[in-house]
Every structure is written in structure tokens, then in C-alpha cells.
Amino acid sequence: MLILKKNFLCLMSLLFVFVSVEAVALTADEIVEQTDRVRNPQESFVMEVLVDSSGSKDTNQFEVYTKGKDKTLIRTLAPRRDKGRNLLMLDTDMWLYIPKLKRSIRVALNQKLSGEAANGDISRMNWSGDYKAKILKVNKTSWLLDLQESKKGLTYARVQVEVEKKTFRPLEAQYMTKNGKTLKVAKFSEYKNLAGALRPSKIVIQDAVRKDKVSTISIVSMKIENLADNKFHRNNLK
């Protein structure tokens, strides 16, 4: 009888632990928030980015200023022929300044920046708030999340991303159409100390059909910096 009582108490203790763990389990949206904090600072920051694409001898160099989730100014530094073709993102609106025309034109976040890298791949680096997330699969070491757009005009209508449990690091993402057709596959790697935390410094983006079409985004430097709102104005595109 005593043994049965001890077994019962042990079972109840295990059940209590299980229920407690389940009660504090993270939601998909909370996982995405943590993943965004790994990818980049939530404060204003400045970074230098290089983009190398298959089939191109040029390396594209950008200086990127970001404030919050909805303001980004991208200054094109190289190659020389593209210098001055700067971009400004305000929420999901984006303008490109063309030096030869001496004026800016509207462009979309999903338009090509360089190779397989789209404008939004370096201008809009947060998923939280832009997408509604749900957990598709739970593995031993990672979650597979499905992100559906919660507003129009985003770089991708849908993203499926694998996130490492221990670190909240994004490992691989499939960029998709709303109907689930995979357009590109991105792999995040080479985690380095950037702006006070370990963040992916290399993102390889590959076309889902033409495997030979690949672009590598390299984050050379990243630092937190206080940026004034007036920096993000179309007058500063010149």
C-alpha cells in the first residue's frame, strides 16, 4: 500500500511538472519575436552589407540605417556605376533615387536589389508584426513555423522558417507565395558578435527552381546608433 502511495505521488509530481511546462510554453508569435531579437537589434542601428551574386563579377556594398520596424535608409556605395542609387523604406512604401534622373521613383519591397536578394531582404529585417505565426512542427531541437502576411506590400507573402530551440536562431527559411509555392530558400549562418549579440552574419539566398542562382548577403559590421527621424526623409535620398 505504501509503495502504491509513493508511486501515485511520484506520478502526480511528474504530471504537475508536465502541466507547468505546458502552461509556460511559448506561442508561435513569441518565438518569432525572440528570433527577430537574434537577427538584429530592436534599437536603431547602422550596418554595412555586402551582396555577392552568382553570374556577377561585382560585389554590391550598402550602408543601411534602420530605426524601429518601419524606417530604413539604404545608401549604395558600390559598384561605382550604382553609387547614389539609394533607397528609402517607410513602412511598406519604398522609393529609389536615380542619380541620372535626379529624382526618386516608387519601388516594391520584393523587387530585386541584387541577384536573388530583394529590397526587403536588407531593409525590413523583422518578421514580428508583419506576419501571423503558427507552429507547424516541433522537433527535438527546433520549431518549424509558418508565417502568413498580416499586411500587404511585404517582401514575401508567406515564410516558413526553422528556428533552433536553445538559441532562437533562424536556421533556414522558405520564402513563398501566399498559396505556398516556394520562391527562394535562405540559410542563416556564421553567427558573430554584432551590436552586442551573436547574430547571423551570412545569409545565402537560393532560387527554388534554378539552383545555380544564388546570392550571399554578408553583414560586415553592425552597431547601435541613435538616429533622428528626419534622417528618413525623401530629401536624404540624394
Mean pLDDT of the chain: 91
Q: Does the pLDDT of residue 222 top 70, yes or no?
A: yes
Q: In the predicted model, is pLDDT for residue 59 greater than 70? A: yes
Residue 83 has pLDDT above 60, yes or no: yes
Q: Which long-range contacts (CB under 8 A, 24 or more apart) does 202-205 make?
A: 203/121, 205/115, 205/116, 205/117, 205/121, 205/175
Bridge-based pairing state of the strands 131-138 and 103-107: unpaired
Which domains are assigned to the chain? 27-237 (2.50.20.10)
What distance in Å separates the CA atoms of residue 217 and residue 52, rounded to the nearest whole number?
7
- Give CA–CA dist 27/134, Å, rounded: 8
Q: Tell me the Cα Rg of the chain.
A: 21
Phi, psi (rounded to 5 degrees) for 129 = 95, -30
Q: Taking the model in full, what pTM does it have?
A: 0.88
Q: What is the pLDDT of residues 198-216, one digit of tens each?
A: 999 999 999 999 999 999 9
Kindly report, residue by residue over 18-32, the tens digit of the pLDDT: 333 333 589 999 999
